[in-house]
Amino acid sequence: MTVLSRSVATAPPARPRRRARWRPALTGGLALLAALVVFVIPFLFIALQAVKTRREASRLDFAWPTEWQAWENLVEVVQERDYMLLLAYLNSTIITVGSVTLLVIFASMVGYVLQRRRSRVNGVVMGAVLAGLMIPPAVVPTIWVLQALGLFKTIHGMILIEVAYNLSFSVLLYRAFIATIPRELDEAAIIDGAKPLQVFFKVVLPLLWPVTVTNIVVQSIGIFNDFTNPLYYLPGRENVTVQLTLFNFQSQFSSQMNLLFMNVLLVTIPPLVVFVFFNRQIVAGMTAGAVKG
Amino acid sequence: MAEVQLRAVRKSFGAVEVIKGVDLRVPSGDFCVFVGPSGCGKSTLLRMIAGLEEVTDGQVLIGGRDVTDAEPSRRGIAMVFQNYALYPHMTVAQNIGFGLSLAKRPKAEIEDRVRHAADILQLSHLLDRKPKALSGGQRQRVAIGRAIVRDPKVFLFDEPLSNLDASLRAEMRLELAELHGRLDATMIYVTHDQVEAMTMADRIVVLNGGRIEQTGAPMDLYRHPATPFVAGFLGSPRMNLYEGEAARAMGARVYGIRPEHVLLSPERGRWHGRVRHVERLGADAIIHLDVPQLGDLVARAAGETTLAPGSEVWASPQDGTEHRFPA
Ligand SMILES: Nc1ncnc2c1ncn2[C@@H]1O[C@H](COP(=O)(O)OP(=O)(O)OP(=O)(O)O)[C@@H](O)[C@H]1O
Ligand SMILES: [Mg+2]
C-alpha cells in the first residue's frame, strides 16, 4: 500500500525534476563560457603575443609561436629607454603606497565622524562626498590649481590627486561598515575614560580591519593601474608611471607588438597577484560587519 | 557610595520632549529600579545620569556634586549595557582593565584589580579569551567586571539581563543582588520586567510617558499604587481594573482588585460568574471568569482547584484589598 502510493506520488514529477537538475548545469556552463571569453581569452592572447617574435606578433593571431622569445622580450622591455620600466615601477609604487595610506587614514576618520556624530554639518559633508563620486573632475582647472600650488608635475601632487579622486568611495565604504559597529562600544569606552581620539584609535579602528583590507586592495589596484590621471597631471620623462610605459612601444611609424604585450603582462601581474591573494578578504569587507560584542 | 539626585530634569530630542521634568533622590547605597513600558524614557534618563546624553534642562547631582556638564568618566559611575558592549578585539582581561590602562595605572596594579574583579565574578579561568568565545551569561559577567574594576560610586544598568534565557536570568538576578550587598554601592537599574523590579529593588521608580508615576519600596507600590497605571504595571497576573459603570457602582472612577485577593466560593459572594478558562501553573491556578456585572475577572486559586470551564462560581474581594482610584 505504502509502496504503491509512493510510486504513484513520485512518478509524475520525474520529468520536471530532471530538467531542474540539468538547468543549473547549463546556466552555470554558459556563465563559465562567457567568463572565459571575456576574461581568460584576452589574457591568453596577451601572453601568447608576448612570447613571439616581432614579425609573428604583428599578425595578431592565435597561431602558436614558431620561435619562443619570452626571455629576450622581457629583457628588452626592461632595458628599453634606459630602464624606464623600473623607474615607472618605483614611481607607481610610491604614488600607490602614499595615496592609499592617506586614503585609509582620512576615509576611516571621516567615515567614523559622519556615521556617529549628529550634526547639521554632516548633511553638507555627505553631499560633498556624493558630489565627489558623481561629478566628473575637470582637468584643466585642476592643472591650474596644481600649478598655482607648485604641485604640478610632482609625485606628491599626484598623490594628493589620487587621494581626492578616491576619497569619496573609501569614505562610503567605511561609513557603511562603521554603521554595523554598535554605538554602545564607543559609549563604553567613553565611560572607561577614553578621549575621542582614543575611542577611535583603540576601540573602533582595530575593528575596521576587514574593510581596511578591502580599501587597500581595491584602491591600490585602481591607483597602480591608473592611466589617465598620470597622463594629465604627471607629464615628464622622469615621472613616468607603469601604465604610461606602454607608449614606449607604440608609435606612429613602428609598433612592436611582442614588446608591447610583454609590457602589458609585466604591468598587469602585480595587481592580479594582489587581487587573487586578497580576494576572500575583499568580499568579507564588502559584506560582513558582524562585530557583535 | 553616593547619593544620586535629579532636579527638574528634562530632555528633548529636537521638538519632541522625552523626559518631562523628573525630580528624584536615590539615597546612597540604594538599589533603585526604573520600570515602565517601552519608550517611556528609562534609558534616556539613565544615559543622562551617565553623561552619555546631554541634559536639556535641570540638574544631575552625584554625591552632592553637580555633574550636569561633567564628562562621563569624571562622574564616578560605571555602566553595563544591554548588549554587553565588550570590545571584541580585546581579551577578557584587557576588556576589564581597559579603563585602568587608559588611566595609565601601573601594570601590576591593573593585573591585581582585574584579578580581584574576576574572582568576584568567577571569571578567572576565562581571562585570556576573546568575547566571541564566551556565552551570554559570561559576557554579561565580563561587562559587570569592567564596571566593578572602576570602583564606581554609582552602578548603572540598562536592561542587563534581557538577552539571557529565563533560568540564567533568575541566577544573575540573585548574583546582582548579592553583588549589591557586597559592594555597598548605589545601583540604578533599568528594566521593563516587573519581576526583576519587585525582586531586586530597594526602591522602584515607575515611569510613564517621561514622568515619574510613583516612587517607593516594592511592597509599598504593590499595596498602595497611587494610580491605575502603577496598579496595572506591578503584579502578575495584573490587577483587574474597571472603569465606567462598573467602577461607579463601586464608588470610584477606577476600581481595582488583584487576582490573589479574589475569594471564590460555590455558595455566596459579591459577584456571580462563570469560569471561562483555567490556567494551571502547578502551585496555583489562574481562573478567568465571565462576570456580568464587571466583564472579565481574573482570580488566583490553589493549584489543586476543582473548578473547570463552565462551572458557576461566586467571587468576592478580600477585606481591605480593594483599590478605588478617584478621578
Ligand atoms: N537619539 C534619539 N533621537 C530621538 N528620539 C529618541 C532618541 N533616543 C530615544 N528617543 C526617543 O525617546 C523615547 C524614550 O526612549 P528610551 O530609549 O529612553 O525608552 P526606554 O524607556 O528605554 O524604552 P525601552 O524599554 O524600549 O528600552 C522614545 O520615544 C524614543 O523614540
Ligand atoms: Mg531602553
Q: Which residues of A touch B91 (CB under 8 A)?
A: none
Please, what sign has the CA dihedral across residues B201, B203, B208, B214? positive
What pLDDT score does A281 carry? 74
Is residue A11 included in any domain, yes or no?
A: no
- Residue B12 in 3-state DSSP? strand
Q: Which residues of A touch B78 (CB under 8 A)?
A: 191
Q: Does A292 touch chain B (CB under 8 A)?
A: yes
For residue A252, name the pLDDT band (cuts at 50, 70, 90): low
pLDDT digits (tens, 9 = 90+) for A129-156: 999 999 988 899 999 999 999 999 999 9
Q: Which residues of A touch B86 (CB under 8 A)?
A: 188, 293
Average pLDDT, integer, range A113-118: 90
Q: Does B50 touch chain A (CB under 8 A)?
A: yes
Q: Do B85 and A193 touch (CB under 8 A)?
A: no
Verify whether ligand 1 is closer than 6 Å to residue B38 (CB atom): yes
Is residue A65 included in any domain, yes or no?
A: no
- Ligand 1: residue of B11, B40, B205 to mutate (most ligand atoms within 8 A of CB) is B40
Verify whether ligand 1 is closer than 6 Å to residue B210 (CB atom): no
- State which residues of chain B have pLDDT below 50: none
What pLDDT score does A210 carry? 87
Distances, alpha carbon A89 to alpha carbons A71, A77, A241, A251, in Å: 19, 13, 7, 22
Is residue A185 included in any domain, yes or no?
A: yes
Q: Which of A97, A96, A103 is nearest to A229 (CA)?
A: A96
Distances, alpha carbon B150 to alpha carbons A109, B86, B105, B139, B194, in Å: 29, 15, 12, 17, 29
Q: Whose CA is nearest to atom 12 of ligand 1?
A: B18
Q: Does A193 touch chain B (CB under 8 A)?
A: yes
Q: Whose CA is nearest to atom 16 of ligand 1?
A: B41
Mean pLDDT estimate for chain A? 85
Q: Which residues of A touch B139 (CB under 8 A)?
A: 293
Strand partners, B80: B157
Residue B160 C-alpha to ligand 2 middle, in angstroms?
10
How many folded domains does chain A comprise?
1
For residue A58, name the pLDDT band (cuts at 50, 70, 90): confident
Is residue A219 included in any domain, yes or no?
A: yes
What pLDDT score does B296 carry? 93
Alpha carbon of A122: minimum distance to chain B alpha carbons (Å): 16
More reliable by pLDDT, B80 or A13: B80
Q: Which residues of B touch A192 (CB under 8 A)?
A: 73, 98-99, 102, 146, 150
For residue A6, name the pLDDT band (cuts at 50, 70, 90): very low
From the CA of B210, the nearest ligand is: 1
Give the atom of ligand 1 at the shortest distance from the alpha carbon of B190: 22
Give the atom of ligand 1 at the shortest distance from the alpha carbon of B159: 27
More reliable by pLDDT, A226 or A287: A226
Give the atom of ligand 1 at the shortest distance from the alpha carbon of B82: 27
What pLDDT score does B29 carry? 93
Is residue A7 included in any domain, yes or no?
A: no
For residue A242, name the pLDDT band (cuts at 50, 70, 90): confident
Q: What is the CATH number of the domain that holds A96?
A: 1.10.3720.10
What pLDDT score does B12 carry? 95
What pLDDT score does A286 carry? 62
Q: Which residues of A touch B131 (CB under 8 A)?
A: 293
pTM: 0.82
Q: Does A188 touch chain B (CB under 8 A)?
A: yes
Q: Do A184 and B72 touch (CB under 8 A)?
A: no
In the chain, the amino acid numbered B212 is I
Q: Which residue of A has its CA nearest to B92?
A: A293
Structural domains in chain B, sorted by start: 4-231 (3.40.50.300), 257-325 (2.40.50.140)
Is residue A39 included in any domain, yes or no?
A: no
pLDDT digits (tens, 9 = 90+) for A75-92: 888 888 888 889 999 999
What pLDDT score does A8 carry? 44
- Identify the domain containing residue A142 by its residue range: 70-290
Is residue A64 included in any domain, yes or no?
A: no
- Ligand 1: residue of B20, B42, B52, B190 to mutate (most ligand atoms within 8 A of CB) is B42
ipTM: 0.88
What pLDDT score does A4 carry? 43
Is residue A45 included in any domain, yes or no?
A: no
Residue B190 C-alpha to ligand 2 middle, in angstroms?
7
What backbone phi and psi angles, to 5 degrees, belong to A118? -90, 110
What pLDDT score does A78 carry? 86
Q: Do A293 and B78 touch (CB under 8 A)?
A: no
For residue A65, name the pLDDT band (cuts at 50, 70, 90): confident
In the chain, the amino acid numbered B63 is G
